Amino acid sequence: MFSYMDVAVKLLIGFICLIIFINMSGKGNLAPLSAADQIQNYVLGGIIGGVIYNPDITILQFLIVLSIWSGLVVTTRILKSQNSKVRKWIDGDPIIVVNKGKLIPENFKKANLSVTDFSTMLRMQDVYTIQEVRRAQVEQNGHLTVLKKDSDRLGVLLIAEGAIDYDMLDLMDKDEQWLSSMIKEQGVSSIDDVFCAEYYKGTINVFTDDMKKRTRSLAER
């Protein structure tokens, strides 16, 4: 027999679970930033939507399923935060469609992106000609990130959580040896000790794993 009280309790549990999940994610909303986020949202919606109107699934079973799902989400987040290879395998990499002002046709196919859609996405970012684009990439969530040729206000991450962005180094016509020497000149012995390093207007700011910023930045030589 259909019970409105049972539905109300399950709705309340689902509502609380959503609040906890949003706070736990640290994003303030459920907008996906990666493939893993998208899958987690789908699964959560499927669990809550499929259970609420099914009287054969008890509240206890609902709680157990939510607990298992939460455990998987937390485990995935821990693995992603501790291992860049795992994060890359789960979330994938951005797909570069323009590099050094040149379009990469095979990557357009890989990103399932037509030139017409690409042009539309550029106009949405106030870029009205491909000739203005120095670099463009499709992020894991499908958004397009554009670096204009005349832009000098955009900071770029050369190291993120210990992983070097070789594509960005190539765009700057630099190599790992140059990056390593710049890091060492700031008193950091190894790139493995770097949480992130940002290049901005000829300087590199280094943040170590202890999350304390190295305030001294070196001008590009």
d(CA 216, CA 183): 11
Residue 211 region, left (φ>0) first, then alpha (ψ -120 to 50), else beta?
A: left
Residue 205 in 3-state DSSP? strand
Q: Under 8 Å CB-to-CB from 130, ≥6 apart: which residues?
A: 98, 103, 119, 122
Q: Is 205 exposed, middle or buried (0-12, 13-18, 19+ CB in 10 A)?
A: middle
Q: What are the tens digits of pLDDT across the range 181-201?
A: 888 877 787 777 788 888 877
d(CA 94, CA 33): 12
Beta-carbon count within 10 A of 172 CB: 14
d(CA 194, CA 162): 6
Q: Which segment, 71-75, 111-115, 156-160, is predicted with the most confidence on average?
A: 111-115
The mean per-residue pLDDT over the stretch 128-137 comes to 88
d(CA 193, CA 176): 15
Residue 103 has pLDDT above 70, yes or no: yes
What domains can be seen in the chain, in order of their start residue? 4-89 (no CATH), 93-148 (3.30.240.20), 156-219 (3.30.240.20)
- Given this model, what pLDDT does residue 35 score? 66
What percent of the chain lies above the pLDDT cut of 70? 84
The band of 107, judged by pLDDT with boundaries at 50, 70 and 90, is very high
The mean per-residue pLDDT over the stretch 83-111 comes to 83
Nearest 5°: the CA angle 76, 80, 85 is 125
Nearest 5°: the CA angle 135, 138, 140 is 140
The mean per-residue pLDDT over the stretch 2-29 comes to 74
**The model scores a pTM over 0.95:** no
Token representation of residue 131: 């000739």
